[in-house]
Amino acid sequence: MQVALVDLDTNTGEKLSAELNAKYGSDRTAFIKCNVTKEAELEHAFSHTFKLFGRLDIVANNAGIAREPDWQLVIDINLTAVVAGSRLAITYMSAPHGNGGVIINTASMGGLIPMPYAPVYAATKAAVIQYSRSLGQAHENIRVNAICPSFTDTALVAEGKTMLPTVFGEVVAATGPLLSPELIATSMIAIVEDDSKNAAVMRVTNARGVDYQSYDGFLNKSTPLTPKL
């Protein structure tokens, strides 16, 4: 397996790429600097990855922020970039470039429950969930799933605790210890490897562990409202 690490943080990205190449073999990973809100940079990240590795099988749209005062940037990173990244992924996973693949979009439990202290963030994550479920039913040979972690030990949560210490303290106390990034990564791999999962929404929480959101509606889940695109 070969992996492209796409991020805005050059120092961390290049360091991680070097560590992974040293551990798993040279040229197994490549770091590509990218601001996901810039269309040209995102397109370059995909085209350069395809040029380096010759194929694209899995895409994880994982960038996210939770700075409510910068609400437009929250939308641009958390939602618009996910849509743009998914569309590019479909391009490179479809003929003549590819023959299918898997897209995993990072949402949040905040997309399933109210977050009065972060309404814009919650709205973007809810949109990612519904976008992933809908897109998953729109294409043959391309599975699209969303993962919804609870509070995880990341820089995003650390920033939130600094900005809203009382609120985050109360919420984390109610939901349990912060989840580990390793648990989220393992869960991502599981949903990618499970061929039966498409248009699925995985939840990762202290209360339930790893499970899937159930949708029991009037419409059969396997029957899309529109033809395949």
Q: Tell me: pLDDT of 29 over 50.
A: yes
Q: Report residue 138 as tokens.
A: 């729109």
pTM of the shown model: 0.91
In a domain, 22, yes or no: no
- CA 80-81-83 angle, to 5 degrees, is 65
Domain annotation covers residue 23: no
- pLDDT, tens digit (0-9, with 9 covering 90-100), for 122-136: 999 999 999 999 999
Mean pLDDT of the 173-183 span: 91
* 163-177 residue pLDDT tens: 888 887 888 888 889
Parent domain of 99: 34-212
Write the DSSP assignment of 90-130 as a string of letters: HHHHSTTT-S-EEEEEE--GGGTS--TT-HHHHHHHHHHHH
To the nearest whole number, what is the mean pLDDT of the chain?
Answer: 93
pLDDT-derived band at 229 (thresholds 50, 70, 90) equals very low
Is 132 part of a structural domain of the chain?
A: yes
Looking at this protein, which amino acid is placed at residue 102?
V
Active site residue 121: yes
Percentage of the residues of the chain whose pLDDT score is greater than 90: 81
Residue 188 lies in a domain: yes
What is the pLDDT, as a whole number, of residue 216? 63
pLDDT of residue 218: 45
Looking at residues 92-109, what average pLDDT do you find? 97
Q: Which two tokens stand for residue 72?
A: 């437009």
Q: What is the DSSP string of 155-206?
A: HHHHHHHHHSHHHHHHHHHHH-SPBPHHHHHHHHHHHHH-TT-SS-EEEEET
Distance CA 80, CA 140 (A): 23
Q: pLDDT band for 217, please (50, 70, 90 cuts).
A: low
Beta strand 29-33 pairing with 3-7: parallel
Tell me the C-alpha distance between 207 and 220, whole Å.
Answer: 29
CATH number at residue 197: 3.40.50.720
Domain-located, residue 104:
yes
State the total domains in the chain.
1
Given 121, 131, 212, 215, the catalytic residue: 121
Do the domain assignments include residue 45? yes
**In a domain? residue 218:** no
Looking at the domain assignment, is residue 18 inside a domain?
no
Distances, alpha carbon 195 to alpha carbons 9, 22, 91, 103, 130, in Å: 33, 31, 20, 12, 20
